[in-house]
Amino acid sequence: MTKTTPAKQKRINNGLVKIAIVSSRFNSFIVDRLYDGAIRTLNSNGVDNDAITAIEVPGAFEIPVTVRTLIENKKFDAIITLGAIIRGETPHFDFISNECTRGIGQLAIESGVPIIFGVLTVDNSEQAMDRAGDEESNKGSEAAAAALEMVSVLKEIKS
CA atoms within 13 A on the CB side of 122: 18
φ/ψ of residue 45, rounded to 5: -105, 20
- Residue-wise DSSP of the chain: -PPP-PPPHHHH-SS---EEEEEESTTHHHHHHHHHHHHHHHHHTT--GGGEEEEEESSGGGHHHHHHHHHHHT--SEEEEEEEEE--SSTHHHHHHHHHHHHHHHHHHHH---EEEEEEEESSHHHHHHHBSSGGGBHHHHHHHHHHHHHHHHHHHH-
- Supply the residues annotated as catalytic: 92
